[in-house]
Amino acid sequence: MEEATCPICGPGGRAENFLRARSEESLFSYLRCSACGLVFLSPRPEAAEMKGFYGEEYYGGEDRKFRSGLEVLRRFFARARVRRARRYFSGSGKVLDVGCGQGTFLQLMQEKGWEGYGTELSTRSASRPMQAGLSVSVGEIRENQFPADFFDLITFWQVLEHLRDPAAVLQRILPLLRRGGIVAVSTPNVESWQARTFGEDWFHLDAPRHLFLFSPRTLEAFMTAHGFRLQALTHFSWEQNPYGWLQSFLNWVGFSGNSLYTLIKNAPGSRKRRFTLRDQGKIYLLSAAVLPLCLVLSGVMGIIHRGATIEAFFVKE
């Protein structure tokens, strides 16, 4: 384990206890920076140890992360992200998707005439987009990997919170993005009502993989400090927020360990075996009963700017 510091205020900043979160048999602590309010995990697993938290269960099995029906829904939401990203451009260009996952977003951007590139954490996670014929590199972005001013758009879809040193990553991508280019970020909102209501049961906490928990204010401060200006920010995320309410509620009533998320994954099944058929039936029935309320809450939270996931677009000045 190693100590972490606030990436906005640096090692000199003071931090206070914020929340404790359990993952499997381990207990982790989140601190809040007293100066800027950014929440971060400390102490945290070292880099080599962290790889164990991104195993086969995390990525799902075979060629997809979730069951087939849900993959159709994921593709629908990816198309919506493509539309939102492209509205800042009159034509096509070059896009870098940091942490591209299965590569769905890149595939859809390429269908619109864009030249797509991606990065993934490991060879295992990069294998799916590579098999789909996408240009994907393994590991973090390296110096001189791309020419200066090469990209028009760089995206971090649910990725920034996973990075061990997000400040260093932003410093590396800054020269790669042309002036006036866009950085898109979606990330959990630690100041959302969902987070405050469920605390350690909040689905988007995801300790220890989520090393940083941003709010609209701390995200803007972090990006501004690295040369980006906020263009737009929304609290609406139909892709993330309704499910966040649903899974957090299930955790809170006793179906801990993100039970539904485990069941709907296209995973090898070792963790699924801990649920009896009776428990699985209860989880599915309860989920169906509360889903309409979760949809309503997500809409209301979006309107009052308290959504559990925020999506922001920044421009390079």
Task: Look at the block and give the residue holding tokens 């098999």.
Answer: 131
- Domain for residue 127, yes or no? yes
Q: Are 106 and 95 in contact (CB under 8 A)?
A: yes
Confidence of residue 102 (pLDDT cuts 50, 70, 90): confident
Could you tell me which residues come within 8 angstroms of residue 312 by beta carbon, excluding any fewer than 6 positions away? 184, 185, 186, 216, 219, 220, 223, 230, 231, 232, 233, 234
By C-alpha distance, which of 185, 165, 171 is closest to 315?
A: 185
Please state which of the ranges 13-22, 36-45, 110-119 shows the lowest mean pLDDT.
13-22
- Domain for residue 104, yes or no? yes
What are the structure tokens assigned to 285, written together? 């029935």
**Digit-coded pLDDT (tens) for 174-212:** 999 999 999 999 999 999 999 999 999 999 999 999 999
Provide the 10 A C-beta neighbour count for residue 148. Answer: 10
- Domain for residue 282, yes or no? no
- Domain for residue 269, yes or no? no
- Domain for residue 161, yes or no? yes
Q: What pLDDT does 220 receive? A: 98
- Domain for residue 261, yes or no? no
Give the residue numbers spanning the domain of 74: 45-243+299-316
Number of domain units in the chain: 1
* C-alpha distance from residue 67 to each of 72, 147, 204 (Å): 9, 39, 20
CATH of the domain at 49: 3.40.50.150
- Domain for residue 207, yes or no? yes
pTM above 0.95, yes or no: no
User: How many Cα neighbours within 13 Å face the side chain of 168?
Assistant: 7
Confidence of residue 85 (pLDDT cuts 50, 70, 90): very high
Confidence of residue 164 (pLDDT cuts 50, 70, 90): very high
- Domain for residue 35, yes or no? no
**Digit-coded pLDDT (tens) for 278-305:** 888 999 999 999 999 999 999 999 999 9
